[in-house]
Structure 1
Amino acid sequence: MEDIFQWCREGSAMQVRMWLDDPEHDLNQGDDHGFSPLHWSAKEGHLLIVELLIQRGARVGATNMVPSKLLRHKADPNLTNEHGNAPLHYACFWGYVPLAEVLVNHGALISLANKDGDTPLDKTRGSLAKRLHELAVETGQDLKKITFKDQSWLGLKTRSRDATLSRHRGINIMDLSLHTRLATSPSGETWRGRWQKNDIVAKILAVRECTSRISRDFNEEFPKLRIFSHPNVLPVVGCCNDPPRLVVISQYLPNGSLYSLLHDAAAVGSVDLSGRPPVVDTATALRIASDIARGMAFLHTLERIIPQYHLNSRHVMIDDDFTARINMADAKFSFQEKGRIYYPAWMSPEALQKKPSDRNWEACDMWSFAILMWELATREVPFADLPPMEVGMKIALEGLRISIPPGVSPHLAKFIRICMNEDPGKRPTFDMILPILDKMRR
Structure 2
Amino acid sequence: MNDIFSACRDGNLMAVKVWLDNTENDLNQGDDHLFSPLHWASRYGHNTIVEMLLSRGARVNSANMGDDTPLHNAAQMGRLDVIHKLIREKAEVNALNEHGNTPLHYACFNNHPASADELVSCGALVSMCNKKGETPLARARPELARRLAELARSKGQDLKTKIPFSENVWKGTTRTRAKNGTMNHENVDLRQLNLKGKIASSHSGETWKGRWGQTEILAKILAVKNITSRISRAFHEEYLRLRIFSNPNVLPVMGIVNSKNLATISPYASYGSLYHVLHESTTTVDQSIALRFAIDIASGMQFLHSLEPMIDRLLINSKHIMIDEGMTCKVNMGDAGFSFQPPGKLYNPAWMAPEALQKKSNEINRKSADMWSFSILLWEMATREVPFSDLANMECGMRIALEGMRVSIPPGVSPHLMKLMRICMNEDPAKRPKFDMILPILQKMVV
| TM-score, structure 2 as length reference | 0.90
Tell me the residue number matched to 1:24. Answer: 24
1:304 positional shift: 4.0
Question: What SS does structure 2 have at the residue aligned with 1:222?
Answer: helix
* Pick aligned residue for 2:273 from 257, 282, 286: 257
Partner AA of 2:320 in structure 1: H
1:371 has 2:345 as partner: no
Displacement after TM superposition at 1:149 (Å): 4.5
- SS of the residue corresponding to residue 196 of structure 2 reads strand
Pick aligned residue for 1:203 from 216, 220, 227: 220
Matches within 5 A, 1:168-247: 169-243=186-260, 245-247=261-263
- The Cα shift of 1:123 comes to 5.1
Q: Structure 1 residue 218: deviation in Å?
A: 0.8
More off after superposition, 295-304 vs 114-123: 114-123
Q: Does 1:323 align with 2:340?
A: no
Alignment RMSD: 2.2
CA distance in 2, matches of 1:343, 1:89: 53
Residue 249 of structure 1 aligns with an amino acid whose one-letter code is: I
What SS does structure 2 have at the residue aligned with 1:266? coil
Q: Is the 8 A contact 1:232 1:294 kept in 2?
A: yes
Report the Cα offset of residue 173 of structure 1: 2.1
Q: CA deviation at 1:153?
A: 6.6
Residues in 2 aligned to 1:335 and 1:307: alpha-carbon distance in whole angstroms: 14
Q: Distance in 2 between matches of 1:265 and 1:72?
A: 29
For residues 75-94 of structure 1, the aligned pairs below 5 Å read: 75-94=91-110
1:416 aligned partner: 421
Q: Say if 1:154 and 1:320, in contact at 8 Å, map to a contact too.
A: no
Give the C-alpha shift of residue 40 in structure 1. Answer: 1.3
Counterparts of 2:152 and 2:39 in 1: how far apart (Å)?
26
Going from structure 1 to structure 2, the CA distance change for 1:341 and 1:89 (only over 3 Å counts) comes to: farther
Match of 1:155 in 2: 173
Q: Write out per-residue CA displacement over residues 51-83 of structure 1, whole angstroms, 9 at most, x where no aligned residue.
A: 222222223333243423323444332233455
Residue 115 of structure 1 and its aligned partner are, at CA, apart by 5.2
The letter of the residue matching 2:73 is M
Moved more, 108-117 or 48-57: 108-117
CA distance in structure 2 between the partners assigned to 1:206 and 1:99 by the alignment:
54
- Residues 378 and 117 of structure 1: is their aligned pair in 2 closer, same or farther, counting only changes over 3 Å? farther
Structure 1: where are the runs of 5+ without partners? 268-278
Aligned equivalents of 1:361, 1:295: Cα separation in 2: 15
Gaps of 5+ in 2: 63-69, 75-82
Aligned to 1:68: 84
Supply the distance in 1 between the matched residues of 2:49 and 2:415 (Cα, whole angstroms).
42
Taking the aligned partners of 1:75 and 1:155, their CA distance within structure 2 comes to: 10
In the TM superposition, residue 131 of structure 1 has moved relative to its aligned partner by: 3.1
Change in CA separation of 1:155 and 1:342 when aligned onto 2, cut-off 3 Å: farther
| Structure 1 range deviating more: 199-208 or 171-180 | 171-180
What's 2:66 paired with? none
Q: Deviation at 1:125? A: 5.5
Q: For 1:154 and 1:377, how far apart are their aligned partners in 2? A: 33
Q: State the 1:425 CA deviation.
A: 0.8
Candidates 383, 387, 398, aligned match of 2:388: 383
Which residue is equivalent to 2:78? none
On the 8 A contact 1:226/1:237 being kept in 2, the answer is yes
The aligned counterpart of 1:274 is: none
Separation of aligned partners in 2, 1:259 and 1:393? 23
Identity of aligned residues (%): 56
Deviates more, 1:292-301 or 1:406-415: 406-415
| 8 Å Cα contact 2:109-2:139 kept in structure 1 | yes
Aligned to 2:313: 308
Q: Is the 8 A contact 1:306 1:333 kept in 2?
A: no
Deviation per residue, 1:21-49 (Å, 9 max, x gap): 11111112222222221221222122222
Distance 2:351 2:169 in 1: 37
Q: Deviations over 1:181-207 (max 9, x none)?
A: 111111111111111111111111110
Distance 1:324 1:138 in 2: 37
* TM-score (ref. length: structure 1): 0.91
- Name the amino acid aligned to 1:97: P
Change (3 A) 1:202 1:113: farther
User: C-alpha offsets along residues 241-261 of structure 1, whole Å, 9 cap, x if unaligned?
Assistant: 122x11111111221111011
Once residues 149 and 371 of structure 1 are traced to their aligned partners in structure 2, the CA distance between those partners, rounded to angstroms, is 45
Q: CA deviation at 1:227?
A: 0.7
2:330 is paired with a residue whose SS is strand
Three-state SS of the structure 2 residue aligned to 1:7 is: helix
1:80-131 CA distance string (max 9 Å, x none): 3455432222223333333222211222122334456543334546443333
- Structure 1 residues 179 and 307 mapped into 2: Cα distance closer, same or farther (>3 Å)? farther
Q: How does 1:345-364 map to 2 (within 5 A)?
A: 345-364=350-369
- Kindly state the Cα deviation for residue 208 of structure 1 after the two structures are TM-superposed: 1.9
Amino acid at match of 1:219: H
Matches of 2:152 and 2:434 in 1, distance apart?
48
Amino acid of the structure 2 residue aligned with 1:111: S
The answer to whether the 8 Å contact 1:81/1:157 transfers is: no
Question: Are 2:126 and 1:121 equivalent residues in the alignment?
Answer: no
- Indicate if the aligned counterparts of 2:95 and 2:171 stay in contact, CA closer than 8 A: no
CA–CA distance in 2 between the matches of 1:395 and 1:107? 53
